A and B are shown apart, each in its own frame.
Chain A
């Protein structure tokens, strides 16, 4: 299906474990983003990518790692999960220079760290 997908949709893990959240988009958008959404904080940017092999930190990058070897994929890894990383994670993409700046969001991954 065309669009932006995230997997898994739900994940429960334990403190200290490594977790990878996947994001895939079929539009060939240049830009991709990872946000976390928590009550009282709204959407907070973790990392973003302007193109394959180009990534940069957002507002709350500590404890997270990203990579983007292909335009369509932008995985987010929690190297050693902590309880404070319990959240809902959203991936988004936007076309970039010629296509505009509107972001399109995936359905989210609800992560619980025990």
Chain B
């Protein structure tokens, strides 16, 4: 059974304090690892798709990386507006249904 586990469940940072969120997965024949941002009262917003180990993608203060067992979402010098829940999901080769983790709730204090 495919599984995606995110850690920590919650993270509090001071503005400017860089950190990383972890997404470990056991997805057979991984064909995509997705990161989403979800603000309170809104739907998940797509951030990145990673396809193979070693791949990296960046957007503003966020950088997503992928290894054979896990993905990291690095947040460099975060700002309060980066506060949100970050979800990751993995999808296997033969499926169009991703397996979602439960998310990491990030709060960045000014």
List residues of A whose CB falls within 8 A of some B CB.
Answer: 31, 33, 41-43, 45, 48, 50, 58, 90, 92, 94, 96, 100-108
Contact = CB atoms under 8 A, between A and B. Distances in A.
Nearest to A30: B96
Interface of B: 31-32, 34, 36, 41-46, 49, 87, 89, 91, 96-98, 100-103
Given A58-B97, A102-B32, A42 B103 contact: yes
Contact of A105 (B32, B45, B96, B103): B45
Given A42-B102, A42-B103, A43-B87, A104 B97 contact: no
A43 B100 contact: yes
A102 B46 contact: yes
Nearest to A97: B96
Contact of B44 (A48, A90, A96): A90
Contacts of B49: 100, 102
Nearest to B43: A105
Main secondary structure of the interface of A (DSSP, over half): strand
Contact of B101 (A42, A100, A101): A42
Given A101-B91, A102-B32, A102-B49, A94 B44 contact: no
B47 to A, nearest CB: 10
A104 B38 CA distance: 12
A31 B42 contact: no
Nearest to A40: B102
| A-B interface, 4 closest residue pairs, ranked by CB to CB distance from nearest | A105-B43, A42-B102, A43-B100, A105-B44
A73 B89 CA distance: 24
Nearest to B92: A101
Contact of B32 (A42, A101, A106, A108): A101
A103 B34 contact: yes
B46 A103 contact: yes
Nearest to B103: A42
B31 A101 contact: yes
Nearest to A107: B43
Nearest to A94: B96
A101 B91 CA distance: 8
